[in-house]
Amino acid sequence: MFIHPTADVSERSTIGEATRIWHQAQVMPDARIGAACTLGKGCFVGTGSIVGNKVKIGNYAEIFGAVIEDEAFIGPLACLIEDSLPRSTNLDGSRRELGDWTKAPARICRGASVGAGSIILPGIIVGAWSMTAAGSVVHRNVPPHVLVGGNPARSIGFVCRCGARLIDDSPTPTCVCGSRYARLLDGLTTTQGI
């Protein structure tokens, strides 16, 4: 494990072996980071966040309570939000504290990629091996292998597990890497390949 001297990692967090935490990254209490992860410069991993194995979190990304499964990629400056009703005070005017709101963490499924500068709203599920284009605002669940982009994000195609965009419109698209898929109502499933 490597933790840069300028990183701020809580003693109440859990960090897996072979994980690298770079300059000025911050990991809050009760966050769990898996093995062989990379946390880029200045990224923030909030209390209660769960990060799987072999996850890459880009520079200055912000993770608020999200669940990020194995092999996912979170691009630089991405933000995963967990408070769907954000306010700084309660109805009585008192300052909002940790227990004064309902958590609705986002879930980034295995192998999914969240593009640089994307915002994932509370409670959203980004499906396995899917991808959000840079700068997307994701307000609806993303099915497996679906590519979304825009503000608000909408489906603009499909992606292979290797990351290449599938341009074949047939019911069984094939990727340049040789992987083949079958279309489902809510995404794709692998039939052969990776």
User: Cis before residue 76, ω within 30 degrees of 0?
Assistant: no
* Backbone phi and psi for residue 79, each to the nearest 5 degrees, phi listed first: -135, 120
- Asked whether residue 23 is assigned to any structural domain, the reply reads yes
pLDDT per residue of the chain (194 residues) written in tens, 0 to 9: 999 999 999 999 999 999 999 999 999 999 999 999 999 999 999 999 999 999 999 999 999 999 999 999 999 999 999 999 999 999 999 999 888 888 999 999 999 999 999 999 999 999 999 999 999 999 999 999 999 999 999 999 899 999 999 886 777 888 888 888 887 766 777 666 65
Is pTM beyond 0.75 here? Answer: yes
- Asked whether residue 56 is assigned to any structural domain, the reply reads yes
Residue-wise DSSP of 23-77: TT-EE-TT-EE-TT-EE-TT-EE-TT-EE-SS-EE-TT-EESS-EE-TT-EE-TT
Element (H, E) at 181: strand 180-184
Tell whether 54 and 125 lie within a shared domain.
yes
How far, CA to CA in Å, does 158 sit from each of 6, 34, 178?
A: 40, 28, 15
Nearest to 115 by CA among 56, 161, 169, 66: 56
- Asked whether residue 95 is assigned to any structural domain, the reply reads no
- Asked whether residue 19 is assigned to any structural domain, the reply reads yes
In angstroms, the CA 120 to CA 41 distance is 20
Tell whether 184 and 108 lie within a shared domain.
no
Tell whether 143 and 178 lie within a shared domain.
no
Tell whether 3 and 58 lie within a shared domain.
yes
Tell whether 2 and 79 lie within a shared domain.
yes
| Domain hosting residue 14, numbered range | 1-85+102-159
Per-residue model confidence (pLDDT) at position 192: 63
Per-residue model confidence (pLDDT) at position 79: 98
Tell whether 47 and 127 lie within a shared domain.
yes
CATH code assigned at 77: 2.160.10.10
- Asked whether residue 93 is assigned to any structural domain, the reply reads no
Longest dimension (CA), the chain: 60
Tell whether 14 and 29 lie within a shared domain.
yes
Q: Which two tokens stand for residue 157?
A: 């195609």
In angstroms, the CA 137 to CA 159 distance is 18
Q: How many domains does the chain have?
A: 2
Tell whether 173 and 79 lie within a shared domain.
no
